[in-house]
Structure 1
Amino acid sequence: MNLRQLSDKLGLSQTTVSRALNGYPEVSETTRKRVVAAAAQYQYRPNTRAQGLATGRSMAIGHVIPFSTQHEMVNVVFADFIAGAGEVYARMGYDILMSVVPDENEDKAYAELARKGAVDGVIVHGPTLNDPRIALLSDLGIPFVVHGRSTDTSLPYAWLDVNNRNAFRQAAEHLLDFGHHRIGLINGLERMDFAHRRRLGYLSALESCDIPADPALMRSGEMTEPNGYHAACDMLDMPNPATALIASSIVPALGARRAIEERGLVMGRDVSLICFDDEISYLPNGAGTPIFTATRSSVRAAGRRCAEMLIEQISEPANTPQQELWDAELVIGPSTGPATAQ
Structure 2
Amino acid sequence: MEWILLIFIIPYVFILTNISLKLKKIQPCNHSDNPGEFISVIVPCRNAAEHLPGLIKCIGNQNYDSDLFELIIIDDNSDDPSYIPDSEHNSLKNLKVLKNEGRGKKKAIMTGVSASVGSYIITTDADCLPGEKWLSTIAASIQDSRPDMLICPVMLESKPGFFNIFQELEFLGLQGITAGTAVAGYPVMCNGANLVFKKKAYLANVNNLHPEIPSGDDIFLLHSLKKNNNIKWLESEEAVMITASSVTLEDYINQRNRWISKAGAYSDRDTIILGLVTFIAVLTQLVTLLAGMFRPEFLLVFAAAVLLKSFPDYLILGNTCKRYGKTQLMKWFLPCQLIYPFYVAAVVVRSVFPGSDWNKATH
Q: TM-score, normalised by structure 2?
A: 0.23
The structure with the largest alpha-carbon Rg is: 1
Return the structure number with greater relative CO, CA threshold 8 A, min gap 6.
2
Bigger fraction of residues in strand: 1
Structure number having the greater helix percentage: 2
